[in-house]
Structure 1
Amino acid sequence: MTPDAILALYEWTIGGCFRCGQVDLFVTHVDEIVTPSGDRYELSSCGSCVLAMEEERRRYAERRGRAYEPGGLTQGEP
């Protein structure tokens, strides 16, 4: 699957990337952190970081003998 096809699987908005620290660029929601006091912080990632994380997911699936399905970052899959 091409990088553009993988990125098309996600919804994008302007924000900051938790992984590389860049701000004011297109990001997608990937997870959230909930503190013990109940505060919620959204974790969003830019396209470059999404592709890097998808590659990590693909290699992990390959090592485990599992099928890799791109687009799973927002679904809580390893």
Structure 2
Amino acid sequence: MHRQQILDLYEWADGICFRHPEQGQMPTTIVGVIHPAAECEKPVRGCEDCVIAMEDTRREHARREGEEYEPGHVGVP
């Protein structure tokens, strides 16, 4: 799949990327959830570049493990 096809698998909204907070608001998607002590769970948002990097990591892991890779599941347990 091409970059845009992978990105189209996610729902995007303006937010702050967990790796690039200095860039301010940008299109992000939820890539995880954290559970801080004494607080409600908080979504972790990632930008397009981070999602592509995470998808690349998932693809490589699947290849090494002999598993099938299916894009669109960053942040899904």
Q: What is the TM-score normalised by the length of structure 1?
A: 0.89
Paired with 1:20 and 1:68, the residues of 2 have a C-alpha distance of 27
Pair 1:29 & 2:14 matched: no
- Structure 1 residue 37: Cα displacement: 1.7
Which residue is 1:59 aligned to?
60
User: How many correspondences in the alignment?
Assistant: 76
Q: Deviations over 1:29-76 (max 9, x none)?
A: 111100232432210000011000000000000000000000011312
Question: 5 Å matches for 1:1-78?
Answer: 1-21=1-21, 22-76=23-77
Paired with 1:52 and 1:20, the residues of 2 have a C-alpha distance of 13
Q: What is the TM-score normalised by the length of structure 2?
A: 0.90
Unaligned runs of 5+ in 1: none
Name the aligned partner's letter for residue 33 of structure 1.
I
Are the aligned partners of 1:20 and 1:49 in contact in 2 as well (CA < 8 Å)? no
Paired with 1:31 and 1:61, the residues of 2 have a C-alpha distance of 19
**SS of equivalent residue, structure 1 residue 73:** coil
- Structure 1 residue 28: Cα displacement: 0.2
Are the aligned partners of 1:15 and 1:25 in contact in 2 as well (CA < 8 Å)? yes
